[in-house]
């Protein structure tokens, strides 16, 4: 009589283990399906820097671009050939209340002459083709139409941050893990997603990253700033001349050639 009891017991354990694994996998898959950090407002001018932090639903979106810079027309850019129906491309800069960023703008044949008449301060309507991968990694968009003069004033030219009493983020410098230093921003790179696979280089919350150069009296030190979805809007506030408090998260030895990892100096270092 003991055999049926043992068999039922083993079946119960195995069923429980299978259910536990299934539930754990389900929880893991749910945790990776996170909403976009930034929702694209199609009725407001776009800050192209935000596009890598949007989800794929932004591809195909028709948005407004207020021009603050218009590059020279190019029949192609290095390995970036033109799709059928397009005659040239221009690197342009769009500005918005959050800041400004670059677009690799494709000009259709119908706009070939009109594209030479585009001016800074003008508003155009574009269709997002990709969130990155254009010239110098910029998002790619198709020109649809010119709207007219933008009602928004372009941003003032960036200032040079004072370097007095700024901290050095140099490898082998005074800052250690969990130390907070003041970064006088000289420039920042493009926003990008951190690798989907967990890496020991990044803290668990890091979903996006951007290279930031911090000026000090002796050097210009490049660090990799990582942040979570809830800090995406704050990250758009980065610009040359601003001073931000950054927390050192990972210090790389000078011999490694890798940049150290920092985060915004929020109260809880785990955020």
Contact at 8 Å (CB) between 123 and 147?
yes
Structural domain contains residue 23: no
Asked if residue 165 has pLDDT above 80, the reply is no
Structural domain contains residue 171: no
Structural domain contains residue 172: no
**Where does residue 54 rank: exposed (0-12), middle (13-18), buried (19+ CB within 10 A)?**
buried
Residues 58 and 144 occupy one common structural domain: yes
**pLDDT tier at 13, thresholds 50, 70, 90:** very low
What is the model's pLDDT at position 267?
52
Residue ranges making up the domain that contains 86? 48-149
Tokens of 248: 């050192």
Residues 226 and 184 occupy one common structural domain: yes
**pLDDT tier at 217, thresholds 50, 70, 90:** confident
Residues 191 and 141 occupy one common structural domain: no
Asked if residue 207 has pLDDT above 70, the reply is yes
Asked if residue 134 has pLDDT above 90, the reply is no
Among 13-22, 67-76, 137-146, 246-255, which stretch is predicted with the lowest mean pLDDT? 13-22
Structural domain contains residue 256: yes
The CATH number of residue 104's host domain is 2.40.50
| 60-85 core/surface letters (b: 16 or more CB in 10 A; e: else) | ebebbbbbbebeeebeebeeeebeee
Query: What is the C-alpha to C-alpha distance for residues 98 and 95, in angstroms, rounded to an integer?
Result: 8
For residue 225, the cross-strand partners are 210, 262
Pairing of strands 99-108, 122-130: unpaired
Average pLDDT, stretch 126-136?
Answer: 90
**Where does residue 204 rank: exposed (0-12), middle (13-18), buried (19+ CB within 10 A)?**
exposed
Pairing of strands 243-250, 180-188: antiparallel
Asked if residue 38 has pLDDT above 60, the reply is yes
Structural domain contains residue 73: yes
Residues 143 and 228 occupy one common structural domain: no
Query: What is the C-alpha to C-alpha distance for residues 227 and 235, in angstroms, rounded to an integer?
Result: 8
Structural domain contains residue 269: no
What is the model's pLDDT at position 26?
39
* Domains contained in the chain, number: 2
Structural domain contains residue 3: no
Structural domain ending residue among the three candidates 149, 172, 205? 149
Convert the pLDDT of each residue in 41-97 to its tens digit: 888 999 999 998 988 889 999 999 999 999 988 876 556 678 888 888 899 999 999
Among 5-19, 78-92, 97-111, which stretch is predicted with the lowest mean pLDDT? 5-19
Among 29-38, 162-171, 192-201, 243-252, which stretch is predicted with the lowest mean pLDDT? 29-38
Asked if residue 181 has pLDDT above 90, the reply is yes
Structural domain contains residue 249: yes
Query: What is the C-alpha to C-alpha distance for residues 160 and 164, in angstroms, rounded to an integer?
Result: 12
Residues contacting 127, CB < 8 A, separation 6+: 60, 61, 62, 63, 141, 142, 144
Residues 130 and 190 occupy one common structural domain: no
Residues 74 and 142 occupy one common structural domain: yes
Residues 191 and 254 occupy one common structural domain: yes
């Amino acid at each position: 009589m003991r055999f049926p009891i043992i068999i039922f017991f083993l079946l119960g354990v195995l069923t429980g283990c299978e259910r536990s694994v299934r539930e754990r996998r389900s929880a893991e898959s749910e945790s990776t399906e996170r909403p976009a950090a930034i929702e694209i407002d199609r009725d407001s001018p776009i800050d192209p820097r935000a596009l890598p932090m949007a989800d794929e639903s932004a591809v195909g979106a028709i948005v407004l671009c207020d021009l603050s810079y218009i590059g020279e027309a190019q029949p192609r850019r290095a390995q970036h050939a033109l799709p059928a129906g397009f005659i040239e491309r221009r690197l342009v800069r769009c500005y918005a209340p959050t800041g400004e960023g670059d677009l690799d703008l494709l000009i259709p044949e119908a706009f070939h002459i009109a594209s030479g008449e585009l001016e800074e301060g003008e508003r155009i309507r574009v269709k997002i083709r990709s969130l990155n991968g254009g010239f110098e990694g910029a998002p790619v968009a198709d020109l649809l139409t010119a709207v007219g003069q933008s009602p928004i004033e372009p941003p003032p030219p960036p200032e040079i941050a004072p370097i007095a009493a700024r901290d050095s983020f140099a490898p082998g410098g005074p800052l250690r893990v969990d130390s907070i230093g003041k970064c006088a921003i000289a420039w920042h790179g493009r926003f990008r997603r951190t690798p989907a696979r967990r890496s020991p280089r990044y803290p668990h919350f890091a979903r996006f990253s951007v290279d930031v150069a911090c000026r000090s009296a002796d050097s210009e030190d490049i660090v990799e700033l990582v942040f979570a979805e809830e800090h995406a809007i704050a990250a758009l506030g980065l610009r040359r001349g601003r001073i931000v408090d950054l927390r050192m998260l990972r210090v790389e030895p000078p011999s490694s050639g890798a940049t150290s990892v920092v985060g915004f100096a929020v109260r809880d270092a785990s955020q």
